[in-house]
Structure 1
Amino acid sequence: MELLKKVLSYFCVEFLFRHRSPRRVQKELMLEIYAAVKEGKHLIAHAPTGTGKTDATISAALTYTLDAGKTLLFLSPKISQHEMALNVVAGISKKHSLTVKTVEFVGKQYMCVHPLARRLKGEEFYELCKRMREKELCPYYCNYLEDERSSFWPLFGQSVISHDVVIAKADAIEECPYEVASELLSDADVVIGDYYHLFSPRSGEVFRKKLSKKLSDVVLIVDEAHNLPDRIRRVISYSLSTKALESAAKEAAGLDPEVSALLREASEDLKNVASSMAPGEERAIDRADLISWWPFDFTSFAEELEDLGREYLELSGKGKSALLKVARFLSGWAESEGPFLHYIHFWKDGATVSVARKALDPSVLSEEIFSELHSAVLVSGTLTPGEMYRDLLGLDPSRTVIREYPSPFPRENRLVLIVPSVTTRYSRRRPSEFERIAGELRRIVSAVPGNVAVFFPSYDVLFSVLPFADFAGRPLFVQKPDMKPEEVASILSSFRSNSSVGAVLFAVAGGSLSEGVDYPGSDLLAAVIVGIPLAEMNLETKAIIEYFEEKMGKGWAYGYIYPAVAKAVQAAGRVIRSENDRGVIVLLDERYTWKNYYSALPRDWDPVITEDPVPYIRRFWNQS
């Protein structure tokens, strides 16, 4: 109630908005963002497609930060999502005749202009770049060091600067684009970047130094925030295989035979431990187990390997070193106190063994960051339940506001059905059930006058249903594991081009065809979610469930059920992407009627539960 009063008190605030006026739902979102930011609170906002959330979040936050002298930091999971944010700030600047210093900051490898280094990717690039800088072999970096200008902003002659513009300008003066972009950060009003620039132990520390601002002077917008917990988990997780140990031993053989022998011994130690395991088996271990198995001190040996790795790179001229990979793993393992799962995995090939440290709780990294920020706005079209994201990321409940906004599109344009006649539960996974699922799909597809996408919980289920699939001559396109990007693009193009006859797409929920892809207009008229895309019940999933059950009594919800429903909602969201789209969403599994799954669905869906979906679907399209 107190926040509501404050929201109403800001109703007359003149927001920096690039269009003529915000839509009703945008204005509501902007008011709540402004109130939260002004009060130094965090806002978790579930805002479905069409809400105009990028315009709303930037406009409301920027209205505050420019007046308060704070920096606005906009982070997203992909570089491709930066363009919209850049366009919003540019539009605001133009409409309101403002100079809003804005820079897009991306990873070093995406900005490099050195003819040799820019051909490399990942670890190879960063090792070569580091070596060239240390040896003063990169002319672009050396020219930057010799540049005595006090500010690089006048070089650009504009206030909103994309990373492409930085690259072009820096290349023209033969200086390092990454370092030039870094120079712009401290004076920027708005910085647009990737999650890793803040939520990564190493990159985050470097970025904060370059930003030259206390986090208490920063307002953060996290775009597509449903991705953040898993992103953080991945960045603080490590693994190492016997293959890597043996490669490192080969590299060390000509430099230090004793070190080479220790690495081979470490590899054999892992194989000996795995000798009692079956291929494909995983087994939990204590952090101290690996330390006791291996014949060296992790910290000092990691330092020795790092020196040898750099020496190997220098002598071989190669771009990467297994010695450095082992060194990083040992350093991470030595520091892995806290909520981590440590385990050994005997691969299905019957020869390779790996050890891993998997992060269970992303808040070990993010909690301190959010506590220091002046305010944070986390927004996504799949951010329910908000309490889960608050708890997973460690946001203080006393300063966190959670809001769920309805879809701004006409409700009559969408039909949501739950069909409980089948299930993909493990206890029911048999040919007869897969045949029944195929039969339900056949009936649903026959009632849709156009393209239908069917999203499965796994490839195993997809290929179990596939032999029974028969859609009366309609073209069927099937996503397969490990498809190359160009193969996925080809399937997508063929599926879209067959919309006039009505094609069917079989894909996996959580895969590349179910997230981050738009199917506008007639490209997709219905999405069927077969089963619930639950995580495999492996060691990691079990450990996450147990951890959050012990920490807050919500292990099954936070570690298993809610993330799966979020994947289903993401896939279903492919259907309605604009106010003119019409479409059907079918949740094909009895468990969607169960309270613990049903309660995780968006509140505005209001699904119809029926074992006979065809009349509803036909009536919906007849009314179109």
Structure 2
Amino acid sequence: MTPNPEIKLSVRNLVEFILRSGDIDAQFMSNARALEGTRAHQKIQNANKDKGYSPEVTLKYSVDYQGFTFIIEGRADGVITTKALTIIDEIKSTSRPLEHLAEHYNETHWAQAKCYAHIYCAQNKIDRIGVQLTYYQLETDEIKQFINYFDQDQLATFFFDLMDQYLVWAHLTSDWVSRRDQSIKALDFPFETYRTGQRQLAVSVYKTIAEHKKSFIQAPTGIGKTISTLFPAIKAVAEGHTAKLFYLTAKTIVREVAEEAFAKMKEKNLEFKAVTLTAKDKICFKEERICDPDHCEFAKGHFDRVNPALLDALQQENYFTRPVIETYARKHQICPFEFSLDLTIWCDCVICDYNYVFDPRVYLKRFFSENGGDYTFLIDEAHNLVDRARSMFSAELYKKPMLELKKLFKDEEPRIAKSLGKLNSFMITMRKLTGAEPYYHQANEPKDIYPLLNKFILESEEWLASHEGSESHEKLLEFYFNVLTFMRTAEFYDERYITYVENSKDDTKLKLFCLDPSHLLSEAIKRGKAAIFFSATLSPLDYFSEILGGGDDCYRMIFPSPFDVNNRALLIADNISTKYRNREKTYLSVAEYIKSVLTQRQGNYMVYFPSYQYMNTVYELFTERFPDVIAVRQSPEMSEEDREDFLNLFRPDSNDGILGFCVLGGIFSEGVDLKHDELIGAIIIGVGLPQICFERNIIRDYFNQKNHCGYEYSYLYPGMNKVLQAAGRVIRTETDQGVILLIDERFSNRDYQQLFPREWFPHKRVGNLNELEISLKDFWADHLSQD
């Protein structure tokens, strides 16, 4: 006999999903209230512990119903056992005056408690039980209680009425999993053949997932990283090795590549649901994002309409890209961002930014707030995660807003002004520690500021809750959230952190800076069962596996390029030093080298510089000396439309050719896929070292102490990664031909050559313009004759 499909649900999720209604109302909600609510629970539980009160009672209930095996789990706040009767206690903290709370103030509160009561009765064979709601007023410490008594039959009727309403979703899930798994098992690799190394890559990904491990994979451009990770991961879903995939990226363009991979597999009859998350600010339908029913028609009544919208969309669609999400959100008049978050529950793959998994401020709590789950993380362009993680796990406060807000609230709310004044005084003390220097740092955390920040949080919360829409509200709210972030970050502070103070002309900054994100990333990865970190540039692999929290038992793999190395000319002009102190002497030489490359074959090229200043200086010189060349340059504040316009200039049919002046490590040095004659060369000026700065130096000092590799970890490896990414823009397909010119004497240094990928051998040194021209003439003559 075939076993029933199994559906796991928490009591809370069941009740809130079936009974939710009303508006989205993003009015200010105190973040400290959650902590106060926990304390309220503990206070009530402790006060009753000698009265037969058992706190936090875990309940688990398995029931066969309507062809399903439902496993329902939850935790009752309290179970009171007396000789006469057992009572289930549900505790709710509130800031509302208790006289405003009637017995049926919130039906979901009763529903949750009644479900716990039903499970307790069923497990303990009890015929009658009490259900109590205990409301705790946070400001006054007052308690108000309501109690009702139910027979087991009444509770069973209530519980199974909820289950009847959930059955449509249970059938949806069960039918879908059957269809999905059947299609996966029939799915062949969506291309006629595997490229070199591609099958091996896919096998290694499957093995990592099946063994619930981590792997770090360097897979060059052309091997097909996206399909080679998604295809085996999808296969692993049908085999029961993982329940849900998270495809994590740093850039929108990479998310689009993942969507294209799903589209390709859909052509091969794959049935798989995937949703792409877009930032709230981008997907919001309103010009001004105010999430409350008075300002947004999509927030008003959202929860009345969202379940029908989900059912409609899930029955009609499998791939929820931004346009699809927006279409259904408009159709049902609901918030597109909240709708997309709800879709993640029902989809097999979530395509999203790193922060939805790793950032403690915004990660998806619906998946990761407890102990995580049976998830696989596919982390694309993983080289970007190092600095992103440092940013996610760091926090900073500035003195200037403290003083400005203190003046603003001096008359309006003296208590808030007083707490801000004490914070401002603390920052003055920290500023004095710098003396005549711009920086001061210490290994210990600044514990003396924590009570002051907590006091500010408490003083400001009541005002923020009652003064929405006022002129001062937005300014105070922004600082309030910065303070919360600072306090949350302080919870992670350990030997991998440093505290520093930075003085500038008009402000003072206090920062909790995460030097080494490896531990926190490792902990975040435990929210799932398996993780694959992959990129074309994870070199050196040992560095990335360590800094990204891989541990000793992770897999490390390097795959060769599938492209013929003879299709590219890799040339090193090592007679020029682009070190900062030498740059002024190089402007003319660099301009002449660029022109020499263009002269040998007309076409589209990009030239990458270590800074905007260097780029702009050479650009002005170059365009003045060579006005016949069509040159365009990157600017610091380009919109998405500007970026698209810039890239659209690089057409294969561009008769005169385009020369793009870009910044190394910028938006056009990675994630750009210009194929064939859209780009035939990249000229890279310098070795990409990050600008020398205080943060880089303290990272260097930390790793010097830890493993004697401070310079490498702080400067050399991140710099060379930018170079590898920029060079990777040239050869994108098996038939592409192009030139990579590296200009800097350090590229001939052994420390740098050790970081060259194997496909960069052989390469050729060109000591002057004449040697460069001869090498390029030979290369193009050979390849153009083959064409």
Q: By the TM > 0.5 criterion, same fold? A: yes
* 1:173 corresponds to: 332
Contact 2:576 2:744 in 1 (8 A): yes
For 1:272 and 1:365, locate their aligned partners in 2 and report how far apart those are by CA, in whole Å. Answer: 31
* 2:571 corresponds to: 417
Query: Is 1:454 equivalent to 2:607 in the alignment?
Result: yes
* 2:254 corresponds to: 81
Which amino acid is the alignment partner of residue 603 of structure 2? Answer: G
Deviation track 1:498-520 (CA, whole Å, cap 9, x = no partner) reads 94334433221011232233333
* 1:10 corresponds to: none
- The 1:91/1:322 distance shift into structure 2, 3 A limit, reads closer
1:254 Cα deviation after fit:
4.6
Which of 97, 105, 119 is 2:287 aligned to?
119
- The 1:104/1:451 distance shift into structure 2, 3 A limit, reads closer
Deviation track 1:60-84 (CA, whole Å, cap 9, x = no partner) reads 1111122215212211223443333
For 1:148 and 1:487, locate their aligned partners in 2 and report how far apart those are by CA, in whole Å. Answer: 36
The structure with the larger Rg is 2
- The 1:298/1:578 distance shift into structure 2, 3 A limit, reads same
TM-score norm. by structure 2 comes to 0.68
- The 1:619/1:306 distance shift into structure 2, 3 A limit, reads farther
For 1:421 and 1:248, locate their aligned partners in 2 and report how far apart those are by CA, in whole Å. Answer: 56
* 1:201 corresponds to: 360
1:222 Cα deviation after fit:
0.9
Deviation track 1:163-211 (CA, whole Å, cap 9, x = no partner) reads 432332233223333343333333432222221110110322524259x
Which amino acid is the alignment partner of residue 443 of structure 1? Answer: S
Q: How many residues align?
A: 589
Asked which structure has the greater RCO (Cα within 8 Å, sep 6+), the reply is 1
Which sections of structure 1, spanning at least 5 residues, go unmatched? 1-12
* 2:725 corresponds to: 570
Which amino acid is the alignment partner of residue 578 of structure 2? Answer: T
Contact 2:306 2:334 in 1 (8 A): no
Contact 2:250 2:354 in 1 (8 A): yes
Contact 2:398 2:508 in 1 (8 A): yes
For 2:236 and 2:782, locate their aligned partners in 1 and report how far apart those are by CA, in whole Å. Answer: 46
Contact 2:445 2:498 in 1 (8 A): no
* 1:555 corresponds to: 710
Contact 1:144 1:179 in 2 (8 A): no
Deviation track 1:572-605 (CA, whole Å, cap 9, x = no partner) reads 1121222232111011111112222111222211
* 1:383 corresponds to: 538
* 2:414 corresponds to: 257
- The 1:367/1:501 distance shift into structure 2, 3 A limit, reads same
Query: Is 1:327 equivalent to 2:483 in the alignment?
Result: yes
Which sections of structure 2, spanning at least 5 residues, go unmatched? 1-184
| Higher normalized strand content (fraction of residues) | 2
Which amino acid is the alignment partner of residue 335 of structure 1? Answer: E
1:94 Cα deviation after fit:
4.8
Contact 1:237 1:358 in 2 (8 A): yes
- The 1:66/1:254 distance shift into structure 2, 3 A limit, reads farther
Contact 1:251 1:323 in 2 (8 A): no
Which of 599, 609, 612 is 2:765 aligned to?
609
For 1:147 and 1:437, locate their aligned partners in 2 and report how far apart those are by CA, in whole Å. Answer: 62
Deviation track 1:21-56 (CA, whole Å, cap 9, x = no partner) reads 433432222122222222223222222222222111
For 1:149 and 1:462, locate their aligned partners in 2 and report how far apart those are by CA, in whole Å. Answer: 53
Contact 1:535 1:560 in 2 (8 A): yes
What's the Cα RMSD here? 3.3
- The 1:139/1:463 distance shift into structure 2, 3 A limit, reads closer
For 2:559 and 2:673, locate their aligned partners in 1 and report how far apart those are by CA, in whole Å. Answer: 21
* Partner secondary structure for residue 406 of structure 2: helix
For 1:316 and 1:70, locate their aligned partners in 2 and report how far apart those are by CA, in whole Å. Answer: 48
* 1:105 corresponds to: 277
Contact 1:166 1:180 in 2 (8 A): yes
Identity level (%) = 27
1:388-537 aligned at under 5 Å gives the runs 388-398=543-553, 400-426=554-580, 428-429=581-582, 431-463=584-616, 465-466=618-619, 469=622, 470-471=625-626, 473-483=628-638, 492-493=647-648, 499-537=654-692
Contact 1:65 1:71 in 2 (8 A): yes
1:345 Cα deviation after fit:
2.4
Contact 2:361 2:485 in 1 (8 A): no
Which amino acid is the alignment partner of residue 188 of structure 1? Answer: C
1:474 Cα deviation after fit:
2.2
Contact 2:397 2:483 in 1 (8 A): no
* Partner secondary structure for residue 574 of structure 1: coil
Which amino acid is the alignment partner of residue 355 of structure 2? Answer: Y
1:155 Cα deviation after fit:
4.0
Which of 336, 341, 346 is 2:498 aligned to?
341
- The 1:170/1:234 distance shift into structure 2, 3 A limit, reads same
For 1:486 and 1:177, locate their aligned partners in 2 and report how far apart those are by CA, in whole Å. Answer: 22
- The 1:153/1:365 distance shift into structure 2, 3 A limit, reads farther
1:375 Cα deviation after fit:
1.5
* 1:584 corresponds to: 739
- The 1:442/1:34 distance shift into structure 2, 3 A limit, reads same
Query: Is 1:218 equivalent to 2:403 in the alignment?
Result: no
Deviation track 1:467-523 (CA, whole Å, cap 9, x = no partner) reads 654447323333344455555555555565994334433221011232233333333
Which amino acid is the alignment partner of residue 623 of structure 1? Answer: D
TM-score norm. by structure 1 comes to 0.84
- The 1:155/1:371 distance shift into structure 2, 3 A limit, reads closer
* Partner secondary structure for residue 397 of structure 1: coil
For 1:354 and 1:317, locate their aligned partners in 2 and report how far apart those are by CA, in whole Å. Answer: 23
For 2:346 and 2:526, locate their aligned partners in 1 and report how far apart those are by CA, in whole Å. Answer: 24
